[in-house]
Each structure stands twice: as structure tokens, then as C-alpha cells.
Amino acid sequence: MVSFEAQDFETQENVGVSALEETVEVTPYGVLKPSSSSVWNLYTQGRYDFSGNATGSDLYTNYYLTGKSSVKIVITNHSSKNNLEVSFMQLNTFLDTTIKNYTVTPGATLTAYPPTISSSEKYYLLFKGPSNFSGYIE
């Protein structure tokens, strides 16, 4: 069970995620993902916490996630009216692979265990805007 203190999540700072801005340089594949050196090893560094709020932009974890062959994802949707669309993605050379898509209904908390993954590959979470969420992966 996840509990939260009363906070105004509409004004909360994004933690562990970033947006695709219209003014930033975009990679040749059309998405803004973490830099190749931004890696969070879930085995050695432990749980990765994140939270974000965006009116229209998609948000991405600030790090590629690696180090474990099975993970637990917990995400709370703080919106009172919008579904939260989340994709668990695997980094590839040319086109990233969607491992699993999730929909979190308004006010709900998702606990998910994606299919077995490779501990040596890099993964990230993509949150489709609009969004207002918090959670972790371990």
C-alpha cells in the first residue's frame, strides 16, 4: 500500500524523469532518451524513484535501467481525470522495443512485474502526456 501526504502534485517538481522539449536537440531516432552514460544499475544502486507532471510532453526516466533480470514497477497516477499511459522500453541500436504497455486509471496505483528481461540490456520508462505520477522500479 502506498500512502502520500497531502501535496499539490500539479506544482510538484519532476524527479527522475525529463520531458522532450521543442527547443532541445533531438537524437536521429526522434526521441530524447537518457545519454548513453546515464545508467542506473538496479542491482548495485537499488531502487530508482521517479515522479513527474506534464501537460502534454512525454516524460522519460533520466537513466537507463539495467542490472536485474526481473523488476517490480510501482506507479501511482495522481490525476483525477486522465489515464496514465506508460511503456517499459528496451534500448536498441536502431529502434527501441516496447516490452510492455500499461494504463493506470485516475487515482490508481499499478504494481507490475514485466516479462523476464536481460540484466545486461538497458531499459527505460516512457510516460505519455498528459501525466501526473510518482513511483519506483526495483
**Residue partners of 6: CB distance under 8 A and separation at least 6:** none
How confident is residue 112, by pLDDT bands cut at 50, 70 and 90? Answer: very high
C-alpha cell read off for 129: 502526456
Global pTM? Answer: 0.79
DSSP 3-state of 80: coil
* pLDDT tens-digit readout, 37-56: 899 999 999 999 999 888 88
Contact 72, 117 (CB under 8 A): no
Pairing outcome for strands 64-66 and 39-41: parallel
Bridge partners of residue 15, in order along the sequence: 51
C-alpha cell read off for 51: 515522479
- Phi, psi angles (nearest 5°) of residue 9: -70, -15
* pLDDT tens-digit readout, 78-93: 999 999 999 999 999 8
Is the pLDDT assigned to residue 2 strictly greater than 50? no
Mind listing the domains of the chain with CATH numbers?
Answer: 14-137 (2.60.120)
